[in-house]
Structure 1
Amino acid sequence: MNIVELLLDPLEYGFMVRALAVAVVAAVVCGVLSCWLVLIGWSLMGDAVSHAVLPGVVLAYVVGAPFAIGALIFGLIAVALIGLIRNTSRVKEDAAIGIVFTTLFAFGLVLISVTPSQTDLNHIIFGNLLGVSSSDLLQVAVLGALALGVLLVKRRDLTLFAFDPVHANAIGLSPKRLSALLLGVLALTAVVALQAVGVVLVVAMLIIPGATAYLLTDRFSRMLMIAPAISAACAITGIYISYYLDTASGGMVVMTQGIVFTLVYLFSPSHGVLAKWIVQRRRRSLSAPAGARQSSPELDRSDEALRDRG
């Protein structure tokens, strides 16, 4: 089987085409949003929102509503509860996040255990990428376009908020409104990625692409291009690997992203561990005494000959 057949064979199945489409849409949206989450330091917030949507999905199933509606409502509820606890008590933000997302996630698990269902609701937790229907694909495309549109329209304001909220406030922008807007997009994006990798792995798609791009460039404009490109490439690669190895598609997508991050972490030309090690060795060699730098095998042998004559 040649490379063309390897690429085209999975596309003969409709479920694979839908899986690839959903994965790419989710990967691009998550990749763009992850740039801001990494810069602001909202990794834990992404984890909180992605887990907190679980009860909303289950309740939406119970009443026969689209999953996205319930997930979006509970994502916004989680954000509001975190802000309420943080602003009205001595509890710090990280503790508030932990309290809210674990409680809501546990509530979702309880709902799953008591809800009679002909479908396996555990797919919500672990993802069911190969079971995506045409209606799910349309839903993901609409929500993904909405989230991506908001990010692109407000990218300048959000970037200033990420780098210098004080300056943003000084020129008339409201950091609180921008924060609320970004959190709303985060909840919307979590719903999009939910269809691809499930509740548990959504946070990986929201963080890994931005973190990878952050190690590859010092310019935010390039980050916004590198992160979604890497995320989409990993999504496609992961699905193809899962097809031929018969593994979980969502898990393989995230695992591919993790492998790419590891390679960039080690070998990035500017910020990789190996590059830093090489630079440190060069600095040490340049700062060494002149006599030490001039040492050579010939000099060592001459020193030994003099010692023998002595």
Structure 2
Amino acid sequence: MDFLMLYQRSFLAGLLTAVATALMGVHVVFRRMAFFGDAIAHVAFAAAAIGVTIGVSSFLSAVVLAVVASLILAKLSRRNISEDVSVGVLFSLTMAIGVILFSLVKRQRNLMSYLFGDILTVTDADMVYLSTVTASVIVYNLLFKDALVQFTFDEDFTKLMRPKIDLVYQLFLMVLAITVVIGVRTVGVILVSAFLIIPAATASIGAKDYRKVFLFAPVLSSISVVVGLLLSLYMDVPPGALIVVVQGAMFFTTIALRR
């Protein structure tokens, strides 16, 4: 009974993560921000290490620093500093800080958990965070997805028609940062970018209307979670890695079918 309850919670956690990351991933793919998501994941890793070191909630510390970092990256990109350069610096620096801090406090077990995640160990608090973040992502996309897509493809015109679009974009960065943080908890720093990119990229290949991409991406991601968790039951392999393999198989199958 306990075993079944464990997997029921893991399925729900995986589905919530799939929906949140896939919806935000559509914007990431459209704006070609894949490296940005990776950088925020590494910021979350360093922030969690800081939380463990000073004895505060690693989730809350990760949320705060990830949001701040996302806004800093947005500012740097508007000051003639290449986004690739600023993201690359942040990516490397935060990873190094995280490894050092986890080593200093002798928490190598925590280090592995944050790097690769463990969807089978989600807690009641994690479920509350996941539910809240997923609901926020859905509400954000219902309200602003069209405006943000327009901003992506025609920035000047959108600024003219929607004077407050910069606020919408900054809110997007904050929601994206929080989504990545919660994704790190379930699938880890290494794999969270796959949840952001692969389902959205697959959906964008298969759908002609961008609105359908917002529907197909979370569906594909959810299917990959269910299949990956079921396979992990039989193969005794970490579910996060299997889920990403299923996502990759969907991506290449879609490309092959389009030909």
Residue 182, structure 1, aligned to residue 182, structure 2: no
Deviation at 1:119, TM superposition (A): 5.2
More helix by share: 2
Letter in 2 for 1:19: S
Asked if the contact 1:127/1:199 (under 8 Å) is kept, the reply is yes
Against the structure 1 CA distance between its residues 204 and 144, is the aligned structure 2 distance closer, same or farther, given a 3 Å change threshold?
Answer: same
Aligned length: 259
* Deviation digits for residues 251-281 of structure 1 (CA, Å, limit 9, x no counterpart): 11111111111111111xxxx2xx2xxxxxx
**What is the percent sequence identity of the aligned residues?**
25
1:294 alignment counterpart: none
User: How large is the Cα RMSD of the aligned pairs?
Assistant: 1.9
* Deviation digits for residues 39-91 of structure 1 (CA, Å, limit 9, x no counterpart): 11111111111121111112223344333211111212322332444445x53
Alignment gaps of 5+ in structure 1: 1-9, 276-310
Q: Give the alignment's TM-score, normalised by structure 1.
A: 0.78
Letter in 2 for 1:82: L
Letter in 1 for 2:15: V
Within a 5 Å distance, the mapping from 1:171-250 to structure 2 comes to: 171-250=161-240
Question: Secondary structure of 2:213's partner?
Answer: helix
Letter in 1 for 2:205: L
* Deviation digits for residues 162-204 of structure 1 (CA, Å, limit 9, x no counterpart): 2222121111334432321211111011022112210111111
Where relative contact order (Cα < 8 A, 6+ residues apart) is larger, the structure is: 2
Alignment gaps of 5+ in structure 2: none
Asked if the contact 1:165/1:175 (under 8 Å) is kept, the reply is no
Question: Secondary structure of 1:197's partner?
Answer: helix
Letter in 2 for 1:155: K
Letter in 1 for 2:130: V
After alignment, is 235-244 or 130-139 more displaced? 130-139
Asked if the contact 2:227/2:243 (under 8 Å) is kept, the reply is yes
After alignment, is 159-168 or 253-262 more displaced? 159-168
Residue 82, structure 1, aligned to residue 73, structure 2: yes
Residue 73, structure 1, aligned to residue 64, structure 2: yes
Letter in 2 for 1:191: V
Matching residue within 112, 115, 131 for 2:121? 131
Tell me the distance in 2 between the aligned counterparts of 1:67 and 1:152: 30
Asked if the contact 2:43/2:69 (under 8 Å) is kept, the reply is yes
Letter in 2 for 1:202: V
